[in-house]
Amino acid sequence: MEKLVIEGGKPLSGSVRIHGAKNAALPILAACTMAAGVHRIGNVPDLLDIHVMLDILRALGCKAELAGDVVSLETLSMNSSHVPEELMGQMRSSIFLMGPLLSRFGEVQVHQPGGCAIGERKIDLHLKGLHALGATIEESGNTITCRAGRLRGADIALDYPSVGATENIMMAAALAEGITTISGAAREPEIQDLQNFLNAMGAKMIGAGTDTITIEGVERLTPRAYRIIPDRIVTGTLMIAAAVTKGSVTLERVNPAHLTSVIHVMKRAGVQIAASDDIMTVSSSSRPKAVERVITSPYPSFPTDLQAQMMVFLALAEGTSVMKETVFEGRFKHVDELTRMGADIRVDRSCAYIRGVPRLYGATVEATDLRAGAALVIAGLACSGTTVVEQVHHIDRGYDRIENMFRRLGAKIERYSPIRQLKVP
């Protein structure tokens, strides 16, 4: 397995462009299957999850290529709606194909999806939504088969604002007969991006970004070129890294409006943040102040995908902070690794009590999931000495060569593969 070796203690400085949002690109690539033809999707990040999705689409008969940041996808030749189990087990977001494939082929067969081990993430809401649209669902072991003629619009109330379920229902309803209303919908920017893409192809839907989305089904969709929004989680990761290293970083091609809750927390802690249009500058010359309580919750509240990174920030703050995780119950696995680096954190169920320390120290740590891995990289950049982060493949699921991104800002960080001798001072 590859490792990242980081020499910490150097303030980050300079500018970097933010790549496209993984969590927008994946459902949009899935939605492309609903319109036979050639699609060109721009600002697609070169990530492990993206490559898994493209492999799945190829297995379904599509022709797919990622060149630079543009995916060229030909969906005319699709000849299957059965998603291979070995590929689906590699990535949870493969579940996004249920709605699109069902609406195009009248049948879809999937398996329980994989992904990061950060707690229980049921797909019940996906299945209930498709059933409400008229699908029959059969479950046999790990296999799920959905069948339907043309789907029919329905009023669907979600018990929880699930991003994946909201998006799956949106895609299925786009070609359904009649009107579908999703109440209790998730409000994330990635959902707004999916709506914009579907409407560009000829769908009729409004309300993304609010808790009620209305979709009027259409007969067909037509391929359109499209550009993915910037990744707000990558942006937030870099904001936190700039602050904890006491640096000054300019982030380009961002959308500050997507990070209001993060900006609010960091400003409370004393970080200087200036934003205009699609550029943001983050700087800090002193130790941050503790924040009494940070609570993760669905958008527009503080994102669970930045909880681990923010914990590094609070671990180095002056005073005691509380981080409460309300989205995933298994998302504190990084605490043990941060403690190994000198952090003072105590976990009690869904709360982490963080007593800030003046500094962290280099250690060999393991990325237990995507965002935990990013947090450990941030900790390594801020700490004294050398940090080795193992299980880097988790990080590659959501960050396009994270070491290159930080090297552009002056960090001393290298990737080592098993065939290359690893020397750690």
Residues known to be catalytic: 116
Query: Of 231, 251, 233, which Cα lies nearest the Cα of 43?
Result: 231
Collapsed DSSP state (helix, strand, coil) of residue 82: strand
Q: How far is CA 231 from the centre of its chain?
A: 8
Contact at 8 Å (CB) between 92 and 65?
Answer: no
Q: Are 228 and 28 in contact (CB under 8 A)?
A: yes
Residues linked to residue 227 through DSSP beta bridges, in sequence order: 42
173, containing H or E segment: helix 163-174
d(CA 86, CA 68): 27
Residue among 57, 34, 423 nearest 200 (CA): 34
Q: How far apart are CA 272 and CA 144, in angstroms?
A: 49
Give the span between the Cα atoms of 53 and 58, in whole angstroms. 9
Give the Cα-Cα-Cα angle 245, 389, 237 (nearest 5 degrees): 40
For tokens 């503790």, the residue is 290
Cα separations (Å) of 10 from 19, 47, 207, 389? 24, 27, 45, 17
- How far apart (Å, rounded) are the C-alpha atoms in residues 365 and 422? 15
* Chain centroid, CA 9 distance in Å: 28
Instruction: Give 21's contacts (C-beta < 8 A, 6+ positions apart).
Output: 45, 189, 190, 193, 228, 229, 230, 231, 232, 233, 234
**Total Cβ atoms within 10 A of residue 115:** 17
Tokens of 421: 């001798």
Which residue type does 63 have? K
